[in-house]
Structure 1
């Protein structure tokens, strides 16, 4: 479909969020609205009924010979404003990165029901906490969402901007990080870099680890090297939250996945431990690090601080 472009006020990122929430909770209240140059928002659908709210921050300056680098942000209603603020504060060079927030129509927080559907595999109800076990959310729509990103959103972005297909970075937090791992393990060529913050590896009885095992086995059969270099930055928070969340975020978690991926010669892997942050407050610094990754810095350097 042909999206209708309109301009609107943007949501600015709030300062670091104050309290730990469950591993799938939204990171705090809706931020305040700000405006910014070079930003456009449009709704885009796949023809299957759902539409996504896409927020695009155009880069500054002329495009490089191969096109602009681009940072894709899942949960865009919350993450795009933080990325916009990070780009404004990062100084010279950062303005050359295109920012793409992938969210849902409406202002404020992302749609939780849509998140559960789009970012997850089919999930057995027994894996949900007591509050949701009797009325579990719909899950298992990640294949359709991935197809939308690849076959609908990507060409639309290329139509609007000269983007470098070899410099695409994906950022995901929590369930978004889980989805990012799924993309890495099944379609690693879709993005050149992955910034994954507190990925919900615990989800669905840690079924993502089966995909991880298959990915690693395939890499071993390929001689231990990726078809092209891929950069991966995995971050985890350290401050405890609710008891249920602490149990979920325990090992095996992002630390273990980062260690397994680092053994693959074709992957550049960095692991960032954030002991001073909780699951919510880690979002802003993790997005700043994702911007550094999109600018071409190595994940190992970013992880070292």
Structure 2
């Protein structure tokens, strides 16, 4: 079971009221990920449940890394680690969702609903809104927009270089017409080439190249910079052994067997070299036994694994190679 599935199993075992209290302290992406995981652990054996809870209890028994949980302590630690500007939004979300702005509220909406909300806005407004979202959510919104505006919006995201407080405040007021939120905003340094590359990594195969081609026609150097920062499945071969081993602990073997069908030989060798001989043999046998697999299945499995890699990189669990610093 993946880490998300184990967490989902614990929540399902708590009961509705207690699980709801736990979810209140999580961000929108974590809630969505756990919700999806809950649907995959409906038929789990008693032995598996016992094993998961044993691991959970063992984790709780370990000494806490931080001995205080007061608001002031959390604010001080995060501000010192990230700086005041980067920490401010994260602190508000962590501390029970207080002071959530109209733009931040969009993170709880479905991508299609966000696309409908901004569909008739100027591409620059759409770019600013999307730059406030997580990259995977922004990619889903981009898929829902008309083909003619996709490249324009992504190009504007890549060239964003900060937004004055008054402009951001006005935009937030527009977004907050149907949400209540905090209007006391500071200057923001959202967007940039890295975010544009991250968003493209979550696009469907073919759509990313189509958008990059359009950007190259307008600004070829910018298109090249975006491409350099993109991280694709074959780049897994560039990770160090420790990172690969950490990723393998979070990926179901059946998903890995499908994803590797479309991978370069170097990626397969990197993966199997970091598994036990028996586990590698079982993986290769599974790949052979499956027979032909649809390309769509392979791409979906690869994107799911890449999403987990990005999540682990963002959490600091692993580090990606220097040339893929877009996710570090």
**TM-score interval, normalised by the smaller of the two chains:** 0.3 to 0.5
Larger Rg: 2
Going by fraction, where is helix more abundant, 1 or 2? 2
Taking CA–CA contacts closer than 8 Å with sequence separation of 6 or more, which of the two structures ends up with the larger relative contact order?
1
Going by fraction, where is strand more abundant, 1 or 2? 1
TM-score under structure 1 length normalisation: 0.32
TM-score under structure 2 length normalisation: 0.30
